[in-house]
Structure 1
């Protein structure tokens, strides 16, 4: 992928006049009038499978906006930083983007830990921040916009549906940080509310690759299905070891994270076929906007691009929501752009309509249940325009615009 990306950058530079890119979008030169947009995503380290498609989405959206005339008569330049999956690097690079580069907005962060490193820096420096990743909900900060799905959107719909398909006894495996820990409790809540039972929850640090004892425990517990909230390249080993133990065809599996790191591309089809995933985006969405989006993406990055992920689609949409708000505000002034974002700003893109909820700065969006087969996704169910009800139960930025925290939502 890195060689392919370099090839495309060379092509883009050679044909920049034809596609109306700014002089500095993919090169080192910077026009004095460029609008700088910060991108801080893991392009190396254990989370690069998540970060690289998000970075590609940043460039892709900026090129679209620039080709359409740019913003306020100016071109967008993406200023890219690679934190290498290090929280220390996230802090340093976020400060550089805000204070040295003076970006108009920052899009970035993958894990909740990285978001909580970036968010206070952006607030202190009065730099708008977009977090374009599915997460556990509860962030309440007028300077921050969360475009990814929350548990009240994806799990409230998917868990009851999956229980009707497969049964009510669930075994959960999850990443051992706040996303995995909190999401597991949401799964448990929705299971209990629908007559189900969580037999056990096992948590794993992001660098764990040995799952043999857990596979044996799950086999002994005999659940109706396994729910996975595993994260990162190391955790792909779980799916391989599960299939190798002969359990793939015996106990089905669902997930809130599978495919976000291109796991179904890394695994072979027998290791992943049949896994159900709830999300906002799958490349197989059948609407004109997504057909145009996937065709343009293939033209830009190649027909053999591995997979347009959920997080890439959310990043693309986050960029366009911000750009539409700048256009509406008629200025880069933070206060006026905030007002435009809070006007109920929406974007009709590849996932359907995505709208910012003014009270929470989260998005209302369609949620879908996808099933993987032969590395491709078919959509089994769609729940239109789901609101972030979990976060809206604790956050009201209209009444309390000075709020600045992540609430732990009572489950």
Structure 2
């Protein structure tokens, strides 16, 4: 199910008039929450479920009485996977719509386009997506996993199940480039060797020559931080070439947009990954979340890692507002910096005051029959990579994305 802009603009008020939720008596003036996401274009597989997560979380907040006795209203824009529109809509949300907080962005480039506008206008910003780490900015809170939380766990697990020789295939922008360096570090730390690294623009979909190169290098394991629909072609072509059962595969991105449900079992089975969320998590919180999602969206089950991270971010912000007893930016920041926690479908999520990143569970997984089977849970992993370069208590005016020395 997709959400159009008119539907999202109505926020929870539209939901109540549709008869999905009981009307709650709230004050007339609303708290305005800005949303900027790719709901169409090449990245809509990520953005549409994130928009649905926004709708669900806001409906839950309003059903519980809103915040400060006021209803939360969503003001949303579809960037159509166009980076230029992120800057345009960020300006519009802050200067014309005058929202109280913004949640949005998917790729790192979109985050940076939003982040500087939010700083200039004094608007609180939440970025709720796994990324390469290193952002140090007191005006932003980040709920996605970083390499020290995810890659550090995945690499030894994957190597123990395959061998010490690793080949890296990564998206050619800052996420892929920086993540590839983290992979190399953790391969070395675990006694392994990187025998090759290749980078691919986001529109590349032909991996025939690359697969031949990998065959020649003869690694034990390929780790693939590849991003987006065209890069999904690699996994299909790898299986078609008869390589899936010869050389093990792991990925830091496959599955975050439910790509494992697009691949056939023959193409996807056995691929290893590590994320904060899987639909297969057998916890009361996840079972309840999935039931609420299905009830709101007519049986839909498109929730994924990034959508759930976004959902966590929305409820973390709401908890900060409650603790602050205010919507004012500085008051909410100070409240969140006390180490606010929520428990959601991915487990417990706690704000790290030093970096404004999340402390969270990471689950080692393997793809089996279009599902991400949970093998092991590593509880409450801290963003130690970003902690090494960022201390917002000591340097509250910092405004840097550090390329962490690896």
* TM-score tier after normalising by the smaller chain length: over 0.9
Aligned to 1:324: 319
Paired residues for 1:7-406 under 5 Å? 12=15, 14-16=17-19, 18-20=21-23, 33-305=29-301, 307-406=302-401
Cα RMSD of the aligned pairs, angstroms, is 2.1
The CA deviation at 1:2 is 3.2
Mapped partners of 1:220, 1:169: distance in 2: 13
DSSP-derived class of the 1:283 partner = coil
Cα deviations across residues 173-200 of structure 1 (Å, max 9, x unaligned)?
1110000000000000000011001111
Relative distance call for 1:22 and 1:300 in structure 2 (3 A) is farther
The CA deviation at 1:299 is 1.2
The CA deviation at 1:12 is 3.4
Mapped partners of 2:370, 2:163: distance in 1: 25
Task: In structure 1, list runs of 5 or more residues that go unmatched.
Answer: 24-30
Relative distance call for 1:160 and 1:403 in structure 2 (3 A) is same
Moved over 2 A (4+): 1-23, 302-305
Task: In structure 2, list runs of 5 or more residues that go unmatched.
Answer: none
Cα deviations across residues 82-135 of structure 1 (Å, max 9, x unaligned)?
111111111000110111111111111111111111100000000000000000
Q: Is the 8 A contact 1:22 1:34 kept in 2?
A: no
Mapped partners of 2:250, 2:223: distance in 1: 5
Mapped partners of 1:394, 1:22: distance in 2: 46
TM-score by length of 2: 0.95
Aligned to 1:28: none
Mapped partners of 2:286, 2:232: distance in 1: 28
The CA deviation at 1:311 is 0.5
Mapped partners of 1:124, 1:11: distance in 2: 32
Residues matched between the structures, number:
403
Q: Is the 8 A contact 2:168 2:224 kept in 1?
A: yes
Mapped partners of 1:376, 1:229: distance in 2: 19
Range with greater deviation from structure 2 (309-318 or 266-275)? 266-275
Cα deviations across residues 232-278 of structure 1 (Å, max 9, x unaligned)?
11111111111111111211211110011221122222111111111
Q: Is the 8 A contact 1:22 1:76 kept in 2?
A: no
